Structure 1
Amino acid sequence: MTDDNQATASAEGKAQRRTLEDAPTPYPSAWTATGVPASPATIDPDLWPEVAQPPSGAKAAVAGKAAGLLFKGAVKRLPLRVDYPNGTVLGTGGPDAPVMTMVRPEAFEARIGDNGLIGLGESFMAGDWEASDLAGVLEVFAASVDTLIPTPLQKLRALYLPRTPRQERNAEQNTRSNISRHYDLSNELFSSFLDSTMSYSSALFPLTSGPLASVGWEALAEAQQAKIDRLLDKAGVGAGTRLLEIGTGWGELALRAAARGATVYSVTLSSEQQALAQERIAAAGYADKVTVALQDYRAVEGEYDAVVSVEMIEAVGYEYWPIYFQTIDRVLAPGGKVAIQAITMPHGRMLATRNAYTWVHKYIFPGGFLPSVRAIEGVTQQHTTLRVRERMGMGDHYAATLRLWEERFLSRSQEVAELGFDSVFQRMWLFYLCYSRAGFQSGYLDVQQVVLDRREAQL
């Protein structure tokens, strides 16, 4: 990547950060009674161009009316309650059901009519609707995702909804920018809601900790280390192991591998993560054991006894999964093992949405896409000598992890505001955390630890 492109990527990654002096809107010093960031009084159209105003014009009005009818028809069958300003109440939910409160129903309908589920997220960011239990509302939608839109209309979705912008495809010239837009927002932002290990992936809680729905913050750091240790164990990482880590995060896995006596080469495309990971590694005394390189995984050379990658395949992109696994296959030494942790989705939904452009792409993870277990098995069988030997699903552990992140994020609202993130950003981030938790709670998403090796090829 050229210096100009790197500068552009850095600027894009930090475009959502504002200083308090420059902020056009007051930051939320208080939250609503339901714990949701207060609806923004005004929205900066330069910072949030498609949130500041709903779509307008004749076409938007027609699309909004149609979307409103579809939405009302769908929620009438769902176990939640949708309250409208005129007193209308829709849904089959009882007194304990999650409540979605419409504030500006016309704006909400215009947004979903124009942009589907992207509009659902943007309308929450704008304050067009509220929820007493945001994750609960989104869980109902996630559990019914296959039936929300009538089947005949689902077949037309590809003609109507937006496609992934070419500049967000994960070709080598785009990947740095895609990663930067999320991970280079601010190390301080991530530290505001992550635990002391700075692990940004599902923890693995001990079964003795009781119901996962009630596990507390004090258990998170140890559960994150347990997740890492299981991956290192499965990859056979110990004294003298040459370990490749694809996706550094903030360095916790590299630290724990180095403590075992391994030599670690870790690659990341986030300059913010690289800086903090190097700082943590040096402070722990492992600078001579760990190299953190600002490098695309495709450019890795050398030979490694083990390869570990935690929730990085999601950022690779559907069309690049063969290259991802071929790279691992190319650098893995004879007898080596691979352990990855991957968020997965059902195979049918994966195929149906592989060309879709979603709210998560637009605002959170440009270029990302979740694999299915079947896809991982198929890609490795067709394009590599690697074979899946073992896997363990732990989606309920991710739901618990996300709940703790959400609670922590909400409790640090003033700190996040002082970092320069406005109320629209805070509502966006809360929607992202709750949207993700809803996926795991509904069973629509899972997270797998997958172990691969070449035993079959060596017979």
Structure 2
Amino acid sequence: MSTSRVDPTVVSQPVPDESRWPGLATPPHSPLRARAAEALFRHAVKSLDVRVTFPDGTVLGAGGPDAPEMRIHRPAAFFHRLGADAKIGFGEAYLVGDWTADDLAGVLTPFAERLATLVPPFLQRFRRIAERMQPSEEENTVEGARSNIHRHYDLSNDLFSAFLDESMMYSSALFGPGDTLTQAQHRKLDSVLDYAGVRKGSEVLEIGTGWGELSIRAASRGAKVTSLTISKEQKVLADARIAEAGLSDRVDVRLCDYREATGEYDSVVSVEMIEAVGASYWPTFFSTIGKRLRPGGQFGLQAITMDHDRMLASAKSYTWIHKYVFPGGIIPSVQAIEDGMRENTRLKLAGMREFGQDYARTLKLWRDRFQQRWDDIRGFGFDDVFRRMWEFYLAYSEAGFRSGHLKVHQFGFSDPR
């Protein structure tokens, strides 16, 4: 197999703008590492249910003619990127068109299913030497967290409005029979609010406002809500949506880090915000919840999770997702959440549900809508590299949930006092 041939249909793609995507256009050059990466890749894909095709006609993978196809157009660049840093280079190669796929989530799912075994065991012992660690400047201090959140959630309210449903929920829906996405998002909110015991007269603290839908739902039950966000863009739209719902007298959205929260509440609710906290700050996050709850209070939490051993193995790794989508993030395990609550609060686990396949379905709906609305999104100032970045991010995430590598849980905790 030659790794130097180039697919002429891909060469004409625009070169990434250096001011937006510094260093992305030029692949790293490390022949020894590239050869090693190629050998590992060929070994890994030979047992996966995919078809990997090359410009010279070579086909790898265990998949038949109907299996999802990964087309490698620029093998030399692909393997040099993979050799330099596999956890970042694989995604970067997609951003620049070194490889493409019609069924992107279908290609990525078999990789996600075998994630723990793609690298042979005798090489995994060298992981800490070869892998990049998360940079210190992305540590989730109060200032660092604001910077990290700004890089994703302050991209553009118009962008998120383009592919989310009318609820503007950017977290997994919980589908019932025949539900639309909006109905499934409301089902999810009702579930987590029930776990938190939110009812008429409740005083509620929400950690992580999003664009206001949970606050609106809680206030519609007759609760009074204080909601915390560190995204200026989200606060602007959340305030507007809350006002439009006629609930401004019942909801107070504050630009405030959870560590700076004050007061006591009957209920605390947080939906998919813990992933941005950082493992070193989990004790602070959990203890803050305990301090903010009145005796007898309840906490409703929704969190993306992964198996505990995988969490420990990847806790400090710097991946494509960190570099391009969620700097400073780490996904907890169920055990990490339960241990953290037990060690830092008086609260006891009162209920839990898992619905990871609903997240795969949610992500597919978002990605379909993102692709359908791309012409509108392009008009907000985003380029084709950004389009491929978000297609890869949404498909990569969908594959994680489809494979079971990632899950999503709702938890209910209660104070027995």
Counterparts of 1:96 and 1:393 in 2: how far apart (Å)?
32
Q: Aligned match of 1:50 in 12, 23, 26? A: 23
Supply the AA of the counterpart residue of 2:337.
I
Supply the AA of the counterpart residue of 1:345.
M
- Superposed counterparts of 1:265-276, under 5 Å: 265-276=226-237
Deviations 1:255-305 (A, max 9, x none): 111111111000001000000000111111111111111110010000000
- Report the number of matched residues: 409
Pick 1 or 2: higher relative contact order, CA cutoff 8 A, min separation 6: 1
Deviations 1:32-70 (A, max 9, x none): x9xxx99842211221123211012xxx12111111111
Counterparts of 1:249 and 1:231 in 2: how far apart (Å)?
15
- Superposed counterparts of 1:145-224, under 5 Å: 145-206=115-176, 208-209=177-178, 219-224=180-185
Supply the AA of the counterpart residue of 2:95.
M
Secondary structure, counterpart of 1:132 in structure 2: coil
Q: Aligned match of 1:427 in 350, 368, 388? A: 388
Supply the AA of the counterpart residue of 1:431.
F
Q: Does 2:411 correspond to 1:450?
A: yes
Residue in structure 2 matched with residue 127 of structure 1 by the alignment? 97
**Stretch of structure 1 that moved more, 98-107 or 155-164:** 155-164
Secondary structure, counterpart of 2:132 in structure 1: coil
Supply the AA of the counterpart residue of 1:154.
Q
**Stretch of structure 1 that moved more, 419-428 or 282-291:** 282-291
Counterparts of 1:194 and 1:38 in 2: how far apart (Å)?
33
Residue in structure 2 matched with residue 242 of structure 1 by the alignment? 203
Shift of 1:379: 1.2
Q: Note if contact 1:306-1:337 (Cα within 8 Å) is conserved in structure 2.
A: yes
Deviations 1:384-424 (A, max 9, x none): 21222211000011011001001000101101111111000
Supply the AA of the counterpart residue of 1:221.
T
Counterparts of 1:44 and 1:332 in 2: how far apart (Å)?
49
Residue in structure 2 matched with residue 14 of structure 1 by the alignment? none
Secondary structure, counterpart of 1:50 in structure 2: coil
Residue in structure 2 matched with residue 24 of structure 1 by the alignment? none
| TM-score normalised over the length of structure 1 | 0.87
Counterparts of 2:153 and 2:393 in 1: how far apart (Å)?
14
Shift of 1:383: 2.0
Counterparts of 1:319 and 1:97 in 2: how far apart (Å)?
42
Supply the AA of the counterpart residue of 1:252.
E
Deviations 1:1-45 (A, max 9, x none): xxxxxxxxxxxxxxxxxxxxxxxxxxxxxxxx9xxx998422112
Deviations 1:207-245 (A, max 9, x none): x22xxxxx7xxx001110111011112211111100000
Q: Does 2:245 correspond to 1:284?
A: yes
- Superposed counterparts of 1:278-317, under 5 Å: 278-317=239-278
Shift of 1:158: 1.1
Query: Given the superposition, is the C-alpha separation of residues 378 and 119 from structure 1 closer, same or farther in structure 2, using an over 3 Å criterion?
Result: same
Q: Note if contact 1:341-1:450 (Cα within 8 Å) is conserved in structure 2.
A: yes
Q: Aligned match of 2:341 in 375, 380, 391? A: 380
Q: Note if contact 1:39-1:423 (Cα within 8 Å) is conserved in structure 2.
A: no
Secondary structure, counterpart of 1:237 in structure 2: coil
- Superposed counterparts of 1:402-441, under 5 Å: 402-441=363-402
Counterparts of 2:39 and 2:145 in 1: how far apart (Å)?
39
Q: Note if contact 1:80-1:93 (Cα within 8 Å) is conserved in structure 2.
A: yes
- Superposed counterparts of 1:334-413, under 5 Å: 334-413=295-374
Secondary structure, counterpart of 1:124 in structure 2: helix
Shift of 1:82: 0.3
Supply the AA of the counterpart residue of 1:131.
A
Counterparts of 2:65 and 2:280 in 1: how far apart (Å)?
46
Counterparts of 1:76 and 1:234 in 2: how far apart (Å)?
46
Counterparts of 2:283 and 2:121 in 1: how far apart (Å)?
32
Deviations 1:105-127 (A, max 9, x none): 11010111111121000000010
Secondary structure, counterpart of 2:206 in structure 1: strand
Shift of 1:73: 1.1
Residue in structure 2 matched with residue 27 of structure 1 by the alignment? none
Counterparts of 2:373 and 2:190 in 1: how far apart (Å)?
29
Shift of 1:442: 0.3
Supply the AA of the counterpart residue of 1:157.
R
Secondary structure, counterpart of 2:382 in structure 1: coil
Deviations 1:115-147 (A, max 9, x none): 112100000001000112100111010000011
Counterparts of 1:262 and 1:39 in 2: how far apart (Å)?
57
Q: Does 2:80 correspond to 1:110?
A: yes
Q: Note if contact 1:254-1:290 (Cα within 8 Å) is conserved in structure 2.
A: yes
Counterparts of 1:328 and 1:83 in 2: how far apart (Å)?
51
Counterparts of 1:376 and 1:173 in 2: how far apart (Å)?
24
Counterparts of 1:77 and 1:205 in 2: how far apart (Å)?
33
Shift of 1:173: 2.1
Secondary structure, counterpart of 1:452 in structure 2: strand
Q: Note if contact 1:40-1:424 (Cα within 8 Å) is conserved in structure 2.
A: no
Supply the AA of the counterpart residue of 1:53.
T
Secondary structure, counterpart of 1:245 in structure 2: strand
Identity %: 53
Residue in structure 2 matched with residue 65 of structure 1 by the alignment? 35
